[in-house]
Amino acid sequence: MNSKKIVYPYIPNSEPQVQKEMLQEIGANSINELFSDIPEKLLLHKKMNLPKPFLSEYELKRHIESILSKNSTCKENISFLGAGCWQHYVPAVVDEVIHRSEFLTAYAGEPYEDHGRFQAGFEYASMMGDMLEMDVVSIPTYDWSQAASTSLRMSCRITGRDEVIVSKTINPNRLLVIKNYCNPNVNVAMLDFDPKTGLADINDLEKKISNKTAGVYIENPSYLGSIESNGAKLSEIIHKAGALFLVGVDPSSLGVLTPPINYGADIVCGDLQPLGIHMNYGGGVAGFIATRDEKEFVSEYPSRLFGIAPTENSEWGFGDVMWERTSFANRESSKEFVGTAAALWGIAAGVYLAVMGPEGMQELGKGIIQRSLYAQKEIGKIKGVKVPVLQSANYCEFVVDFNNSGKTIKEINKTLLKKGIFGGKDLSKDFPQFCQSALYCVTEIHSKEDIDRLVFALKEVF
Amino acid sequence: MKTKLRNYHAVCWDEPIIYELDRNGERAILVPEVDKKITESVGDGISSIPKSMRRKNVSQLPALSQPQVLRHFLHLSQETLGVDFNIDIGQGTCTMKYSPKIHEQFASSEKVAEMHPYQDESTSQGLLEIMYKTEQLFKEISGLERFSLHPGGGSHGIYTISSIIRAYHKSRGEEDKRNEIITTTFSHPSAAAAPRVKGYKIIIICPDDNGCPDIEALKKVVSEHTAALIITNPEDTGIYNSKITEFTKIVHNFGGLCGYDQANANGLLGITRAKEANFDLSFFNLHKTFSSPHGCGGPGSGIVGVTNKLAKFLPVPVVNYDKENNKYFLDHDSSDSIGKVKDFYGVIPVILKAYAWIMSLGAEGLREVSNVAILNNNYTMKKILELRGVSMAFPEHKHRIEQVRYSWEKLTKDTGINTENIQRRIFDFGTHYWTSHEPWLIPEPFTIEPSESYSKDDIDEFIAILGQIVKEAYEDPKKLKNAPFKSSVHHIDHDVFDDPSKWAITWRAYKKKYNGYFQPK
Amino acid sequence: MYKIGLIVNPIAGMGGRVGLKGTDGREILQKAKSLGAISLSPKRTTAALEPLSVIGDKLKLITCPGDMGENETISCGFVSDIINGIKSKETTFADTQKAARIIRDRGVDLLLFAGGDGTARDIYVAIGTTLPVIGIPTGVKIHSAVFASSPSKAGELSLLYLQKKIHKLREVEVMDIDEQAFRNGIVKARLFGYLKIPYERRCIQGGKLGSSPSEEIIQKAIAEDIIESMDNNFIYIIGPGTTTRAIMQRLGLSCTLLGVDAVYKKEVTGLDLGESDLLKLINKEKTKLIITPIGGQGYIFGRGNQQLSPQVIRKVKRDNIIIIATYNKIVSLKGYPLLVDTGDLSLDRELNGYVQIVTNYHERTVYRVKF
């Protein structure tokens, strides 16, 4: 035996003496005896070929930081990227709460010793319920795409049908997730949009909807930023066919945009990331699903739902609302699956909404639209640039057409990058009809100076 | 050393629902004002929204000031039992272990938090390198050849695996023929539920007398209709199926694939791998074995590994390395990919923490993790089985790996106290335990998993707590039935939870159904 | 005010202690008494009533005079309401049946009865599933799941039900064992009927995943699976039981809960068929037999479905037998195999082996069958 055995800080019983004591109590000579169930031929007899570890915390920190220093962040630059992950300000109180050890490291306890976790979850759902004006909101799922996929399958179970229609102006990556999730039992048809406005093509819907349609899904605002104005008409057509109206939303817009339930939505879903969760390179996403408080809907949620209950001593108690499948409809009868998803982000969203309050959410949405309009106006002044491309109102994102510049978005963004600016997302591959166009996003974190800087830099591109 | 029991009491703030703290008009934060020039230029913004789409009423969110919001949520956090606070060996199958605080510093750094997934790759080389290197680490740990970091949790991992299985058989023209997936009774419920989403019929194998999945049953059901076997090893009972290679061989002989649910990996690191057992696919829970904190139920991560022949089906993008230019990049190029299962590239902060954990331990450290997890579990097992009224599931099978499923069957028979009664009483000592997935194959179950984070003294304390409760069960069962006595709340009335006229999932729903305190309207 | 009914069979259980199996029939009763047997019912009944004392001031017991309930009610200090028309001594099964009807018509929430399988049979004959019941075990042959695991458990369950802490009911089989044969060491059980009992759902906390579906929902799912795979060229013989009944209900067809029915092209072609009817009906190539375990010990043949004789089973052929059961049923077997007792030992041997039980929609559980 060469050097002294390493005692690991995270492994109290790696200390040799205590191991001896424990083995003695067990009545074994070595730990190897304890897993003699594992056949000899399956045992790894060599050490795994992993890099040399950083045993001291100091060296580990240096190692990680040296790698991470190769990143250039949205703080060190100015970013106008959106497209499913948005840069909003995260109040310090939100980070403070979700870094509390209790919330960070709790898991699957009961509503007794984890009473706080349940109450926080109930309050998050309640506040989302207020923004959505809906009485049932799920505990978070993995992301918006999962929420949309589940909403579509829920519509199949509720209606007993197995076809769905999905708008072409949803996030293209979302469509890939939905397609995978619906394969093989659910048929997905696409709904066209008006190329001028970016809004759902009503005629196309009337053509495609039938008595086999379980649900129709649109996003509002759409991926391209447009605010749908035909909500009522869409709802009428959809409900006439006996289908459900599904709408995906960016919840940060609900301070100024009307909740979809007011134009007939049956199931609403979206992402919590804009509500107080850092972008985390796309790792800060969390999906939610909301519906009316009707048994037919509640029974179809695969995710957890926290309910409030009385206790012996008249305190507030909580627990899981139990649901039972009430319908069995042809092939779509599995109630999907549920597991560890994104609960902590739900708590973050709850704290965020509590911090922002009703006035804050209103001011947030208003300010975002104003800044976005200003950006569009100023960029539009640049000769050869067309904006907005879509003749409709929008929230924080808008399409900018650079076709007359003679340059590709790739080239434009590379030039902007040199000036410390992250230009809008390149739409040329996903939306070839717009050719060299980009999706720009402006939020409350952009000051007038930031926007002016962008405009100035774009001018120089031409 | 005799262990002294604590005189614990849970924090009890009797905290109102946040809506009860509403003070109309108060603000917890002020939002950046729009520059006057912008308003002059474009107006109030609201007028640009079509009338039908404007929000008419201000939302009903509660209005509080900042200190009050913080205080409220801190009260709630204090009423939550995190791993950091207790000897959390009772949450079996969850692999509750220490989540190093240094990792939180890494994940909160702006270099992670303020990164947008669509930034130019030249600006995100740091994260791409972490993602790439994490994959390399897991390739060695599992022996598999390609990983996707996308799935958001274990169940999601099973779903991803099911999608790949489907794509594989489709590529060979056998999609319709191979419509069955085989799993076991002790597998996670998602092992049946997730493949069902992908249209599979599920065949479940029961345990034999030794507690292992019955191989004779497998032989009877495997056929040309078998798409795959999805199995955990060891299972939640802690029993390792030593015939595992026979299982995989049988399935492979019929052209099926073998998927490995490695939620129970904590006892196997550096000891045995997916590759040697001939698995084609597997997934790991980074929020279990690999130390990322559980976050009250996520965010987590369930990265999926496959053999080379299945690599082309993985979700896009994967992270590749361009050796020539020393650059990491996102590779979207795969026409055979199943598409996507998740937005963007995976749960980055969780992946980073797993990377850091592995890099702080290395091969020897990981081996030590499993050695000690097994040692702790066997030590705990010996002590628990000395308690009156306890038995172990499948007692003839002597060995367990990193966790054990026990039963209070005898104690319940003797005293009328059941596992839920004991569960409620254990809250009074500042810890908890978990029973089992439903339905309960093992009667009156509880599952204990003492990971490597716990010391011998910790385990002794937990045993002493169980011992005390056993004593109370035999001496004063009546009193015990009213537990918990020192929790944050008293007995919760579950009656409201399965009655549509009574349940309330949001505060607004509660207000619609009740006046005062649960007075139905 | 809570109102429950109480019927005590004063002679149940007297046979066991003195080595006799049951007390059916005057002769056996006399023999038991002469052997020094004393009734266990009073003690067991008071043990069952004890947990109800916490609601004593709000509880009224509707019961029979004398040793059929009044005595125990008084000794426990409850308010009672004695029904008319029943003797106070030397009562018979007819009194039990009459009492059950009267008590039910008085509008009680629940009927508690102390006795054995014989008493359960009488309750069934009288009121079927029109009122929830709970059995206090006192008799010798406790085979039916209508009995709680202990007298005090019966009381606890009653309390939970009255306080609406549990409100789910399920139907459980009432078996009838041929007493004479039993005394001679032969077990011949017949499915007699069904009673409705409240049951306590365990694991009401969600834990990591929320809760799992109830028995009824799973039965519906199984029915959905069977119906989906129904071939119009096949005759389907549906055995007795609540799980098989769910298939008939889903198809909107009438059925006999205790008997064997037949379906062809999703319509009924026969109800409550006997062995000879079945033999006539079965077309060698195109018949499927759908059965579910009856009676608690996991018998798929031989307890409660004797119309499915060895000849019938042989004609249908092993491969055409479909076994259905909810997962809870499987779990209740505690790892023991499913059993067969057709009466033909060589057939039993043939049925030995592994079967795939339909346990949910598009789900099969592999299980062992032993003889």
pLDDT tens figures, A281-334: 999 999 999 999 998 999 899 988 999 999 989 999 999 997 654 444 434 456
The set of chains that have 3 or more CB pairs under 8 A with C is A, B
B439: nearest CB among C331, C362, C368: C331
A320: nearest CB among C210, C221, C224: C210
ipTM surpassing 0.85, yes or no? Answer: yes
Peptide bond into A221 cis (omega under 30): yes
Q: Which residues of A touch C214 (CB under 8 A)?
A: 324
Residue ranges per domain, chain B? 7-28+61-80, 105-359
Spatial strand order in the sheet of B404-407: B391-392, B404-407, B445-448
Looking at residue C201, its pLDDT comes to 67
User: Taking a C-beta distance cutoff of 8 angstroms, is the pair B191, B230 a contact?
Assistant: yes
Find the closest chain A residue to C218 by CA distance. A325
Helix (H, G, I), strand (E, B) or coil at A72: coil
Query: Residues with Cβ < 8 Å from A50, sequence gap 6 or more?
Result: B137, B140, B141, B358, B362, B363, B366
Chosen for mutation from C50, C152, C203 (greatest number of chain B CBs closer than 10 Å) is: C203
Taking the complete model, does pTM exceed 0.80, yes or no? yes
Backbone angles phi, psi at C358, to 5 degrees: -80, 110
Helix (H, G, I), strand (E, B) or coil at B228: strand
**Cα–Cα distance for residue pair C143/C116, rounded to 1 Å:** 8
User: Which residues make beta-bridge pairs with A394?
Assistant: A226
- Token pair, residue A386, equals 């067309």
Residue range C13-63, pLDDT digits in tens: 665 555 555 566 667 777 767 766 677 788 889 999 999 999 989 999 999
Contacts 24+ apart (CB under 8 A), C55-59: C55/C2, C55/C159, C55/C162, C55/C163, C58/C1, C58/C2, C59/C1, C59/C2, C59/C3, C59/C4, C59/C162
Q: Which residue has the higher pLDDT, B353 or C177?
A: B353
Which residues in B164-273 belong to E strands, given as ranges? 180-184, 201-205, 226-232, 257-262
User: Taking a C-beta distance cutoff of 8 angstroms, is the pair B348, A285 a contact?
Assistant: no
Residue range C110-150, pLDDT digits in tens: 999 998 888 899 999 999 999 999 999 886 556 678 888 78
- The one-digit pLDDT tens for each residue of chain B (521 residues) are 567 899 999 999 999 999 999 999 999 999 999 999 999 999 999 999 999 999 999 999 999 999 999 999 999 999 999 999 999 999 999 999 999 999 999 999 999 999 999 999 999 999 999 999 999 999 999 999 999 999 999 999 999 999 999 999 999 999 999 999 999 999 998 998 999 999 999 999 999 999 999 999 999 999 999 999 999 999 999 999 999 999 999 999 999 999 999 999 999 999 999 999 999 999 999 999 999 999 999 999 999 999 999 999 999 999 999 999 999 999 999 899 999 999 999 999 999 999 999 999 999 999 999 999 999 999 999 999 999 999 999 999 999 999 999 999 999 989 989 999 999 999 999 999 999 887 788 999 999 999 999 999 999 999 999 999 999 999 999 899 989 999 999 989 888 888 899 999 999 999 999 999 999 99
User: Taking a C-beta distance cutoff of 8 angstroms, is the pair A338, B197 a contact?
Assistant: no
Which amino acid is located at A441 in the chain?
A: C
Chosen for mutation from A340, A363, A408, A455 (greatest number of chain B CBs closer than 10 Å) is: A340
Given a cut of 50, is residue C82 above it in pLDDT? yes
Helix (H, G, I), strand (E, B) or coil at A152: helix
**Cα–Cα distance for residue pair A368/A397, rounded to 1 Å:** 10
User: Taking a C-beta distance cutoff of 8 angstroms, is the pair B264, B288 a contact?
Assistant: no
| Cβ neighbour number for residue B24 with a 10 Å cutoff | 8
Helix (H, G, I), strand (E, B) or coil at A317: strand
Q: Chain A: nearest CA to C208, how far in angstroms?
A: 5
Average pLDDT over residues C269-298: 86
**Cα–Cα distance for residue pair A360/B63, rounded to 1 Å:** 9
Chosen for mutation from C164, C165, C209 (greatest number of chain A CBs closer than 10 Å) is: C209
User: Taking a C-beta distance cutoff of 8 angstroms, is the pair B1, B38 a contact?
Assistant: no
Paired sense of beta strands B302-306 and B281-285, if any:
antiparallel
Distances (CA, A) of A215 to A204, A247, A268, B492, C358: 15, 10, 12, 38, 31
Domains of chain A: 1-46 (no CATH), 78-87+365-461 (3.90.1150.10), 92-352 (3.40.640.10)
DSSP string, C150-200: SHHHHHHHHHHHHTTS---EEEEEEEEE-HHHHHTT---EEEEEEEEEE-P
| Cβ neighbour number for residue B137 with a 10 Å cutoff | 20
Task: Give yes or no for B326 touching A (CB within 8 A).
Answer: no
A31: nearest CB among B119, B198, B371: B371
Q: Per CATH, which fold does C2-198 belong to?
A: Rossmann fold (3.40.50)
Looking at residue B104, its pLDDT comes to 98
Query: Residues with Cβ < 8 Å from B107, sequence gap 6 or more?
Result: A280, B113, B349, B352, B353
**Cα–Cα distance for residue pair C59/C72, rounded to 1 Å:** 14
Q: Which residue has the higher pLDDT, C87 or C240?
A: C240
Q: Chain C: nearest CA to A259, how far in angstroms?
A: 28
Q: How far apart are the first and last CA of chain A?
A: 70
Backbone angles phi, psi at C175, to 5 degrees: -100, 155
A357: left (phi over 0), alpha (psi -120 to 50) or beta: left
Tell me the CATH number of domain B105-359, given options 3.40.640.10, 3.40.50.2000, 3.40.50.620, 3.90.1150.10.
3.40.640.10
Task: Give yes or no for B225 touching C (CB within 8 A).
Answer: no
Task: Give yes or no for A219 touching B (CB within 8 A).
Answer: no
User: Which residues make beta-bridge pairs with B385?
Assistant: none
DSSP string, B292-350: ---TTT-S--EEEEE-GGGGGGSPSPEEEEETTTTEEEEE---TTS---SSSTT--HHH
Indicate the burial class of C88 (C-beta count within 10 angstroms; 0-12, 13-18, 19 or more): middle
Looking at residue C299, its pLDDT comes to 86
| Cβ neighbour number for residue A1 with a 10 Å cutoff | 4
| CA nearest to A148, candidates A161, A135, A164, A159 | A164
Q: Which of residues 177-216 of C touch A (CB under 8 A)?
A: 204-211, 213-214
The distance from CA A90 to its chain's CA centroid, rounded to whole angstroms, is 16
Across the B:C interface, residue pairs with CB atoms under 8 Å apart total 83
Q: Do B204 and C363 count as a contact with CB atoms less than 8 A apart?
A: yes
Task: Give yes or no for A41 touching B (CB within 8 A).
Answer: yes
Residue ranges per domain, chain C? 2-198, 215-370
**Cα–Cα distance for residue pair C100/C128, rounded to 1 Å:** 10
| Cβ neighbour number for residue C317 with a 10 Å cutoff | 14
DSSP string, C54-83: GGGGGEEEEEBSGGGBHHHHHHHT-EEEEP
Give chain A's residues under pLDDT 50. 1, 325-332
A36: left (phi over 0), alpha (psi -120 to 50) or beta: alpha
DSSP 8-state secondary structure symbol assigned to residue A40: G
**Cα–Cα distance for residue pair B101/B113, rounded to 1 Å:** 17
